[in-house]
Amino acid sequence: MIIYNVTLSILPEVETEVLSWLKKTHIPEVLDTNLFISGQMFKVIENPDDRSHNSYAIQYKLENWEKFEEYNNKHADALRAKTQNMFGERVLAFRTFLEEL
């Protein structure tokens, strides 16, 4: 099992809008590729006294690397472009992978 982890740093002024869009539109579009088993979103806990943004992690589960390669080759660019076009630098993302042992 592979977990594709996308961590998003969201500026407070667009946080509500971004979270709504992620839940209602973006995550369902990723799952509609039929390459992922599931997708869940988590809030990253940060120091509440010193933060200029809020972070969230979306974890998508895949059966194998071949499924991710297909997603990356056929769907990722278009889905990432939608996020960039809507929110620009107000939402920054970095991606990591976890492999279940």
Q: Domain containing 38 — which CATH number?
A: 3.30.70.100
9: pLDDT strictly greater than 70: yes
Whole-prediction pTM value?
Answer: 0.89
Total domains in the chain come to 1
Tens digit of each residue's pLDDT (9 = 90 or more) over 36-61: 999 999 999 877 676 656 899 999 99
Residue 43's domain comprises 2-99
- β-bridge mates for residue 99, sequence order: 2
Task: Tell me: pLDDT of 13 over 90.
Answer: yes
Cα–Cα distances (Å) from 28 to 5, 24, 85, 95, in that order, read: 16, 7, 18, 18
- Please tell me the predicted confidence (pLDDT) of residue 53: 67
pLDDT tens readout for residues 63-78: 999 999 999 999 999 9
Q: How far is CA 89 from the centre of its chain?
A: 15
